[in-house]
Structure 1
């Protein structure tokens, strides 16, 4: 099993102290957490993309490029790249550049994104966001594989023998499809034979498991090898301590502060108590053995071989946060790496093959 630490770069008051850090300090914290993740042996570090409050993650290529300059080994993920809002040509240029600068360490998780405010900012409607996501992905995919691209698009100017530079380092970059609540992302991933990353954060396991079941069905429908299928899954929170009592009590102020924020913001509350949150959500809060057991339970239902945990302290003090991540790596991840297989592909730069380097200029409409 592989492990990622991710951040959406939420910028709101600390759920325990009520103090909001200056913007620059918050970005510095992200960089420090990326360095810590590499130091502790995480396999990847992810940065989300949001274009509305309370997030300041509107430019993941810039943040990940800075992280690339500070690190040497860890793979760099987007979580997620909101292709429904972006010009796929411009997105390709940014990420191809980042991939070169990082030495081929880029991995993309794409999705349509969430939130009415960012849809309005980019003039995207609920009715067309899925079609935009599918079209942008197909254009993006073609550019990454072909020296020249011709495409009859609906949501951006058409491309005619277009050359886009720089040409890629990875050929192609690996793209995961982020899945939260709808079948559209699942269907897109299965159609192209791409890995799926389930959000697995807001609700209990079953709705996510149903989407993964659908993904497996559609994967086989499209004729892909079942052995090549890969699933990743998120987690709703992390705090590992020597005993379950210590972990739960240390996390209680974090949960209560977050719960108060959700109610104040008018957000739906799924887990009313910390005990329910620990029991029924994907949060990994407890002793090392309890966390190992919970990941196994989720793996039995989801079949995932990659797991993400929160990179941010999220209200824990710095010492507890670091201790938790260290304990997770030394006593949880070390066991799960042996118990659960890795994804069915090399965890490194994607090397070119004949099928990914053949140029094409055939004009085709993109399928939305």
Structure 2
């Protein structure tokens, strides 16, 4: 199993102290968390893309380029690239450049995105966002694979023998499809034989498990090899502590503050108590063995081989957050790596095989 640390770069007051960091300091925190993730042995670091309050993750390519310059090994993920809002040509240019600068460490997770404010900002309607997402991905995918592209598009000017530069480093980049609540993203992933990444953060397990089952059905419908399926899944929070009692005690004020925030904002509340949140959500809160058991319980439903954790402290102190991630990597991750397989592809740059030489043909 592989592990990612992911941030959506939420920018609101700390749920415990009530203090909101300056924007500059919040970005610095993201970079520090990326360095920590690499130091502790995470396999990937992801940055979301949102274009509305309270997020400041509107430019993931810029943030990930800086992370690429500071790190050497860790793979870089988008979480998610909102192709329904973007011109696929411009998106390709940005991500192909980032891929070169990072020496092929880029993986994309794409999706239509959520939020009415960002739809309004880009003049995208709920009725056309799925069509926009599919069209943008199809154009993006062609550009990454073809030197000249012709596309009769609805949502941007058509392309005729268009050349887009720079040409890619990875051939092609791996694209995951982010899925939260809808079958459209799941079907798009299955159609192209791409991996799926379940959000898995808001609800109990059942609706996410249902979508993943649908993905597997559509994968078979499109004639792909079942052995090549790869599924990733998110988590709703993390605090690994030496004992379950310590984990609950540290996380309780965070949960209660977040619950109060949801109620004030008129947002739907799915879990009314911390105990219910720990039991029925995807949050990993408790002792190392509790976390191991919970990941296995989800794996039985999902069959996932990649797991993302929160890169941000999210109300924990910096020392608590670091200790939690250290405990995860020392006592949880090694067990899960042994007991749950990796995705069915090399965790590295997607590069074409070198051409056969006469010498290699005769060997």
Answer yes or no: same fold by TM over 0.5: yes
C-alpha distance in 2 between matches for 1:265 and 1:77 = 30
Using CA pairs under 8 Å that are at least 6 residues apart, name the structure with larger relative contact order, 1 or 2.
Answer: 1
Q: Give the SS at the match of 1:160.
A: strand
C-alpha distance in 2 between matches for 1:260 and 1:28 = 28
C-alpha distance in 1 between matches for 2:287 and 2:211 = 30
Partner of 1:92: 92
Partner of 2:360: none
Partner of 2:26: 26
Kindly state the Cα deviation for residue 322 of structure 1 after the two structures are TM-superposed: 0.2
Kindly state the Cα deviation for residue 353 of structure 1 after the two structures are TM-superposed: 5.4
Partner of 2:361: none
Q: Give the SS at the match of 2:239.
A: strand
Partner of 1:163: 163
Q: Give the SS at the match of 1:3.
A: strand
Partner of 1:45: 45
C-alpha distance in 2 between matches for 1:235 and 1:246 = 20
Kindly state the Cα deviation for residue 261 of structure 1 after the two structures are TM-superposed: 1.1
Kindly state the Cα deviation for residue 277 of structure 1 after the two structures are TM-superposed: 0.2
Partner of 2:282: 282
Kindly state the Cα deviation for residue 264 of structure 1 after the two structures are TM-superposed: 1.3
Q: Give the SS at the match of 1:272.
A: coil
| Structure 1: segments with no counterpart, 5+ residues | 355-368
C-alpha distance in 2 between matches for 1:23 and 1:44 = 24
Kindly state the Cα deviation for residue 336 of structure 1 after the two structures are TM-superposed: 0.2
Q: Give the SS at the match of 2:293.
A: helix
Kindly state the Cα deviation for residue 260 of structure 1 after the two structures are TM-superposed: 1.2
Q: Give the SS at the match of 1:6.
A: strand
Q: Give the SS at the match of 1:92.
A: helix
Deviation by residue 1:242-282 (Cα, 9 ceiling, x = unmatched): 00000010001111111111111111110011000000000
| Structure 2: segments with no counterpart, 5+ residues | 355-363
Q: Give the SS at the match of 1:86.
A: coil
Q: Give the SS at the match of 1:218.
A: helix
C-alpha distance in 2 between matches for 1:113 and 1:180 = 10
C-alpha distance in 1 between matches for 2:143 and 2:350 = 16
List structure 1 segments (4+ residues) > 2 angstroms apart after TM superposition.
none
Deviation by residue 1:61-98 (Cα, 9 ceiling, x = unmatched): 00000000000000000000000000000000000000
Match runs of 1:223-242 below 5 Å: 223-242=223-242
Kindly state the Cα deviation for residue 208 of structure 1 after the two structures are TM-superposed: 0.1
Partner of 2:68: 68
Partner of 1:186: 186
Cα RMSD after superposing both structures: 0.7
TM-score by length of 1: 0.96
C-alpha distance in 2 between matches for 1:216 and 1:238 = 28
Q: Give the SS at the match of 1:103.
A: coil
C-alpha distance in 2 between matches for 1:283 and 1:308 = 11
Q: Give the SS at the match of 2:107.
A: strand
C-alpha distance in 2 between matches for 1:263 and 1:45 = 31
Residue 139 of structure 2 is aligned to residue 139 of structure 1: yes
